[in-house]
Amino acid sequence: MTLIKEVSPGTPAEEAGLEAGDRILFIEGQEVNDYIDYLFLTSEAEVVMQVKKGSTGKEREIFLQKNAGDHTGVLLDGIIYDKLKMCNNRCLFCFIDQGAPGFRSSLQKKDDDYRFSFLQGSFLTLTNLAHRDRMRIKDMGLSPLYVSLHTTNGYLRVKMMGNPRAGRIMSDMKELLTARIEFHLQIVICPGLNDGKELQRTLKDLYELGEGILSIGIVPVGLTRYRENLYPLREVNKENALEILKTITEWQSIFYEQRGGRVVFAADEFYWLTEKKLPDHEEYEGYPQLENGVGMTRDFLMTVEDRLEEIKKYRVVEKSWGVVTGRMGQWVWEKISPKLEGKNIRKPQIFVVENKTYGDLVTVSGLLCGVDIISSLQNEKLPGIIFLPATMFNDEGKTLDGYTAKEIGDSLPCEVAAKNDIAEIMARLEGR
């Protein structure tokens, strides 16, 4: 059964008598297994639902009328209503396998569900697709999909992902490409495995697959200090990163000449490691893999540039403030601070927090833990307010180790807020 979380006032759903707490049993006589089913079954102008009322527990038939293609006005609880499709791989580089002991159980779950990929842009591996899943993807045109590829070498992909099914990746993609399913792809670089000649091979294979490959994001492997009894992987260092950037630049030129777009992009961390200049805004071509850490720095810098005139209006000269960041985030904020000076605002204090929970090889701000922030700052002389990166917190407002921004603030002698947007920070400083 599908739980209705909210019904917007004045919508077809409210007019039909649907309420928060009702459960949808059937739509047009069919079960609703996920949000894709819901969208498909409610796309017509007239919709018949079988509902179990939350207020009475009684079943009732609901007749809903709207314009074809319009939203019903219902917010459902989640997007998967049947069994979640779980990961059946044993990847050498799996970040979950390197998790800190004692963290909440939800961090140990490894989902690998094509529906999350289509609806939310999360990456899947294609290794657990049943025949009916592939047919549904093709028949319903569930495109684009986001796929963790890593290599097109079938033998190497089996080794990296610990699953014999992983070796069929090229035939799987060709089958779906033939049905006009397009892909955004991720390659996690593990030095000594899928870099060098293997990366060249992978990019050549993807180039030959044609325009159904929309983007390729290349990211460095993430390694924590919890790798006992795991495959001995090496981190991406400056030398590796320089070679990888050279390869990416070469293939960007090849793709651009043929297609008019670069297609392949490097994660921001490669530029941080090599101290190379970030690509310009236009070179990210719409930021197709922003959530994968590809272009987040340039996007943030552009946001600051775009809002400098707005920032001038804020009266925050006297308010001292600071930002909390990881080592890589320090690189970003040091680029931003000079742009803010003289704009009716004090220069922020930058507090760089070492990730002692996961280890010093984890440098991104989004993986900082509450306990590390508290231990790092509680003896510091702090400004009036510090801003935590909002990317630290999940949808429930909690860090990886379960802290909320309020709980972190309660442990520090200053005001604390979680913000990413520079204008939101300025507004908060002004007291708005």
What's the whole-number mean pLDDT along residues 98-122?
82
Containing structural domain, residue 66: 2-76
**Are 323 and 413 within one domain?**
yes
**Are 206 and 337 within one domain?**
no
The helix/strand/coil state of 59 is strand
DSSP string, 38-53: HHHHT-SSEEEEEEE-
Total number of domains in the chain: 3
| CB hemisphere CA count around 237 (13 angstroms) | 4
Does 86 reside within a domain?
Answer: no
Q: Is pLDDT above 80 for 103?
A: no
Does 85 reside within a domain?
Answer: no
**Are 328 and 286 within one domain?**
no
Among 76, 108, 139, give the residue marking a domain's end. Answer: 76
Beta-bridge partner residues of 4: 76
Count H helices, E strands: the chain?
15, 13
**Are 268 and 125 within one domain?**
yes
**Are 288 and 166 within one domain?**
yes
Q: Is pLDDT above 90 for 396?
A: no
**98, 223 Cβ separation under 8 angstroms:** yes
* Sign of the Cα pseudo-torsion (424, 430, 431, 432, in order): negative
**Are 106 and 171 within one domain?**
yes
pTM above 0.75, yes or no: yes
| Distance (Å) of CA 125 to CA 91, 105, 128, 171, 340 | 11, 22, 8, 13, 42
347 backbone dihedrals φ, ψ, rounded to 5°: -70, 135
Position 104 confidence tier, pLDDT thresholds 50, 70, 90 = low
**Are 183 and 320 within one domain?**
no
- d(C-alpha 44, C-alpha 409), whole Å: 49
Q: What is the largest CA-CA distance in the chain?
A: 66
**Residues comprising the chain, all counted:** 432
Q: Is pLDDT above 60 for 230?
A: yes
Does 302 reside within a domain?
Answer: no
Beta-bridge partner residues of 75: 6
Does 300 reside within a domain?
Answer: no
Residue 343: its pLDDT value, please? 58
What's the whole-number mean pLDDT along residues 379-394?
90
If one compares 300 and 249, the residue with the highest pLDDT of the two is 249
The mean predicted confidence, pLDDT, of the chain is: 91
What's the whole-number mean pLDDT along residues 77-97?
93
Among 46, 76, 106, give the residue marking a domain's end. Answer: 76
**Are 341 and 249 within one domain?**
no
The CATH number that applies at residue 379 is 3.40.50
The CATH number that applies at residue 47 is 2.30.42.10
- d(C-alpha 385, C-alpha 376), whole Å: 16
**Are 207 and 139 within one domain?**
yes
Give the residue among 130, 172, 133, 131 at the shortest CA–CA distance from 149: 172
**Are 330 and 379 within one domain?**
yes
DSSP string, 245-300: HHHHHHHHHHHHHHHSS--EEE-HHHHHHHTPPPPPGGGGTT-TTGGGTSSHHHHH
Q: Is pLDDT above 90 for 309?
A: no
Query: What does the pLDDT look like over 352-382, one tens digit per residue?
Result: 999 999 999 999 998 999 999 999 998 889 9
Does 301 reside within a domain?
Answer: no
Label residues 304-334 b or e (16+ Cβ within 10 Å = b).
Answer: beeeeeebeebebeebbbbbbbbbbbbbbbe
**Are 278 and 250 within one domain?**
yes
**Are 196 and 287 within one domain?**
yes
Among 235, 267, 293, give the residue marking a domain's end. Answer: 293
Q: Is pLDDT above 60 for 168?
A: yes
**149, 170 Cβ separation under 8 angstroms:** no
Give the residue among 366, 198, 348 at the shortest CA–CA distance from 293: 366
Does 83 reside within a domain?
Answer: no
